[in-house]
Amino acid sequence: AQNELELSAGAEDNEGIKERTGFRLERRVAAVGRHMGRGNGYLATIGAISPFVGLFGTVWGIMNSFIGIAQTQTTNLAVVAPGIAEALLATAIGLFAAIPAVVIYNIFARMIGSYKASLGDVAAQVLLLQSRDLDLSASGVKPVRSAQKLRVG
């Protein structure tokens, strides 16, 4: 806000200053949100793909069980168990990777959304203070609390 006031020094159009400041603040909030969420795509991908990797391992293990049955021509536990164990292990590994990734992704997404909302509220307050200061300055009244003391990068 202060930066826009300095760049627009001597401008007669207070509405233009308010509009440009609002745009700068919106862009800043968006940039902070992008910066904070830059690693969330990896978590989302891990959470989405891991169950499929586990499912692939399950299919592979069951296929190995059927191959063992076909080769030995018997269905006893010693033939079937290794393939079933392989299938269950693959399923467990897929879930072990997916569940924490999805939980952490949701926590981060909620925190980022909350932070962006708070930052948006602060930006709106800065814009209100600047608007009030500009309106009071245009009417020749000195503001009691000035927005010029605030600095938003």
Of 94-98, 100-104, 127-131, where does mean pLDDT reach its minimum? 127-131
Q: How many independent structural domains does the chain possess?
A: 1
Give the DSSP H/E element, type plus range, for residue 99.
Answer: helix 77-138
Predicted confidence band at 4 (pLDDT cuts at 50, 70, 90)?
Answer: low
Of 132, 126, 113, nearest to 25 (Cα)?
Answer: 126
143: region left, alpha or beta (phi > 0 left; psi from -120 to 50 alpha) = beta
Provide the residue range defining the domain that includes 113: 2-149
The answer to which of 8-22, 40-54, 102-116, 127-141 has the lowest mean pLDDT is 8-22
User: Cβ atoms within 10 A of the Cβ of 130, count?
Assistant: 25
* Residue 98's pLDDT band (cuts 50, 70, 90): very high
